[in-house]
Amino acid sequence: MSCPVGIYLAIPFCKAKCSFCNFASDAFGPDRMGGYVDRLCREIREARSEADRIGAVLHADADSVYFGGGTPSLLSGEQFQQIFTTLRNEFNLSATAEITVECAPGQLSEATLEELQRQGMNRISLGVQTFVDREARAVGRLHTGAECEAEISRLQQAGINRVGMDLIAGLPFQTEASWRESVDRAVSSGVGHVSIYMLEVDEESRLGREALAGGRRYGAAELPADDLVADWYGIGCEVLNHAGARQYEISNFAREGEASRHNVKYWRRLPYVGFGLDAHSMLAGREAAVRFQNPDDLDAYMAAAEEGPFRMAHRGNRETEWVGKQAAFEESLFLGLRLVEGVRLGELREAFGDAMLASIMPSIADACDAGLLVVEDDRIRLTADGRLVSNEVFSRLLIADAA
């Protein structure tokens, strides 16, 4: 993993909490942003010495930066400037680095946009989720479909060439017709990248709690059935592929050259370091790799300033995992299979040896017989049916591996 690192920065502030959201984000209030940015910058400054101390490799060269959330666009231009200055002091940010900021429609001020462009931001990921106003209102989104379209035009006119958006299949009140409307409006907006997520109703979200306990406030009774949502995902794949936004990962579609370089690092198991609330990292280390995760509670993250996540990881009281060869093999397989191009068997063999690969070939053959996987040109990849039930395919492989 001696290649440039990808940098993820978690900005957990939102204007309001969406009913389906189970991320470590909330309407914490703008008064906490300044202290958070200071804490984040301190974590960035301390990262290299902490990595050295535990024997993890944190490369100085970085070729991607991703501000995720939350709603990072709520930060002021000055706060972004502070973060970029700190990043550039600690990392060699390549001149061609992909720099992405997640934004919510209508929540990016002109001043912040200008500062981001000065800092080299070249990609925006917009949380649209739906263009249908009733669906957006039901889950607590603060924008209309028309406002999303106006925001996309504004960004394109401002010279942001790479704009992407997220859509969710399975929202309360959604129908096949309304889903088609959202996908069609995504296509006609001219964005180069679309992510489609099938809503997973989680009991940590307000919608999930209502689905379990009953009630009508968040529209849990209006959630579409799972098999319908799976069909709509298929419709989304078809429409986007047909429109030239080719699927390159289970949830991601891009026009030529528009795939997210940063996110591809996750699926290819390339090194990345995360800063901020609930941020995850994976770096090379004394074993195959080390993974660690910051606290997901804002107060705990702020209080951890005295010891830093790497240090906590070293003491073993954080979610830290030294990844051995077998686990790295499984990760390479399961993460790589998320990509439409799949995984090159020769690369697995070279990295992990014949025996490890041979151990999993019978279950790969079974999944091929079931029409879920295909092996061709020395690559293994999921079929379209396999992508629909990817978790089932992965657990088949794991069960076989453990047997």
DSSP, residue by residue, 353-385: -HHHHHHHHHHHHHHHHTTSEEEETTEEEE-HH
Bridge partners of 34, per DSSP, are: none
List of residues contacting ligand SF4 (CB under 6 A) = 14, 17-18, 21, 23, 25, 69-71, 104, 127
Q: How far is the CB of 196 from ligand SF4 (least distance, A)?
A: 15
Instruction: Return the SS3 of 166.
Output: strand
Helix (H, G, I), strand (E, B), or coil: what is residue 99?
strand
Q: DSSP 3-state assignment of 313? A: helix
User: CA-CA-CA-CA torsion for 399, 393, 339, 275, nearest 10 degrees?
Assistant: -60
C-beta closer to ligand SF4: residue 126 or 357: 126
Q: Which is nearer to ligand SF4, 70 or 236 (CB)?
A: 70
- The Cα–Cα gap between 128 and 352 comes to 41
Smallest distance, Å, CB 13 to ligand SF4?
8
Output 206 or 387, the one with its CB closest to ligand SF4: 206
CB of 165 to ligand SF4, least distance (A): 13
Minimum distance of ligand SF4 from residue 166's CB (angstroms): 9
Contact present, 25 and 68 (Cβ < 8 Å): no
Please answer whether residues 57 and 102 qualify as being in contact, where contact means their C-beta atoms are separated by less than 8 angstroms: no
Rg of the Cα atoms in the chain: 21
Query: Is the Cβ of residue 4 or residue 127 nearer to ligand SF4 in the bound state?
Result: 127
Under DSSP, is residue 160 helix (H, G, I), strand (E, B) or coil? coil
CB of 103 to ligand SF4, least distance (A): 10
Q: Which is nearer to ligand SF4, 69 or 295 (CB)?
A: 69
Which residue, 4 or 69, is less far from ligand SF4 as judged by CB? 69
Minimum CB separation from ligand SF4 for residue 79, in Å? 17
Count CA atoms closer than 13 A to 182's CA, side-chain side.
Answer: 32
Q: Whose CA is closest to 118, among 101, 135, 138, 141?
A: 101
Least distance to ligand SF4 from the beta carbon of 124, Å? 14
Which residue's Cβ lies closest to ligand SF4? Answer: 21
Residue 274 or 386 with smaller CB distance to ligand SF4: 274
